[in-house]
Structure 1
């Protein structure tokens, strides 16, 4: 199933397919939250299921956290990727996978027609953006609440005031130690 899906995506993106062809003959294990497969890149640049006895050169794991973070921040999502084995191979194929473009409107147009497909894609973009916007606003409001209303987080002014107090106390203690040292010298 994964092989068919990947080949379908790469068939629609010639640039990604040609870049993938640079890794022909290499074997990689892709691990998703509900699906995992060991795949080989064929001479034609197409994905193929690897034989059962083939050991992958690298493993690229995309945990659920990757997909949740990807909706908000692609750079942060990349930090969620887990690579084992040949890091150069996994990173290269991961980069190629990240560059694959899927034209959802083209796929839908084969089922419902061009105009309906364009409208469905537009609507999905609008509706799909709502959770991301709500999530980012909710995060900002939670931070403000924890900082101002229920002081779980310190605000910047309080932290600066605290650090200044610690610095003053440190300097006062250093002066007191010097005075004590002078007094002990005079009494001795």
Structure 2
């Protein structure tokens, strides 16, 4: 089987997960025949629920039951926090179907180690998975460190940014100065009025 685009790959990937989880297919069976469209702007994926709870590519001439729109810029946030994934999307259509999709997106997990063990054996699969987790954790820690260092540089070394507390203190100082100037102006007016 040849995949021409991510839209071709997605149904096969999801079906791979669904094939291993009978409970997930059972959640989709009541929605058989319904079509979900995942629209990311540059690419839209149309999936139809089959009678057995598996997914298939949906024809473009059939109306969507639910449309889930996401901005490409939000994809990294969604990947980092799958539990809040649906807070980054806009949903139009069947709320019950969308809720089922949301539950499945939070619960279905790819067990890469199990799939790898079929190809390379249990020990090698465990080591590969552990290495991948370690590399991912290292990349995440590096990203966090770089973010903190860049923020510190722009806040402390080359102040192009200001901390919210500093902005608040500056605003309070300006307000206090304005009030002091207004009081001083009133006193000056009183003094001018009293000397005439």
TM interval, shorter chain, is: 0.7 to 0.9
* 2:113 is aligned with 1:130: no
Q: Take 1:180 and 1:22, find their aligned partners in 2: how far apart are those partners?
A: 81
Show the counterpart of 1:109: 117
Cα-Cα RMSD:
3.1
- The number of aligned residues is 187
- Which of 40, 51, 54 does residue 43 from structure 1 map onto? 51
The structural deviation recorded for 1:16 is 2.7
* 2:85 is aligned with 1:85: no
In structure 2, relative to structure 1, the CA distance for the partners of 1:12 and 1:149 (3 Å cut) is same
Show the counterpart of 2:4: none
Unaligned runs of 5+ in 1: none
In structure 2, relative to structure 1, the CA distance for the partners of 1:178 and 1:91 (3 Å cut) is farther
Q: 1:33-182, aligned counterparts within 5 Å? A: 36-70=44-78, 72-74=80-82, 78-81=86-89, 83-86=90-93, 88=95, 89-90=97-98, 92-155=100-163, 158-176=166-184, 178-179=186-187
In structure 2, relative to structure 1, the CA distance for the partners of 1:136 and 1:75 (3 Å cut) is farther
Contact (CA 8 Å) 2:27, 2:100: kept in 1 or not?
no
The structural deviation recorded for 1:6 is 1.3
Show the counterpart of 1:3: 11
Unaligned runs of 5+ in 2: 1-7
Normalized against structure 1, the TM-score is what?
A: 0.79
Residues 4-60 of structure 1: CA distance to partner in whole angstroms, max 9, x if unpaired? 221111112233333333433321112458753211112321112223320112222
* 2:35 is aligned with 1:27: yes
Contact (CA 8 Å) 1:72, 1:132: kept in 2 or not?
no
> More deviation in 164-173 or 89-98?
89-98
| Greater relative contact order structure (CA < 8 Å, 6+ sep) | 1
Q: Take 1:178 and 1:62, find their aligned partners in 2: how far apart are those partners?
A: 57
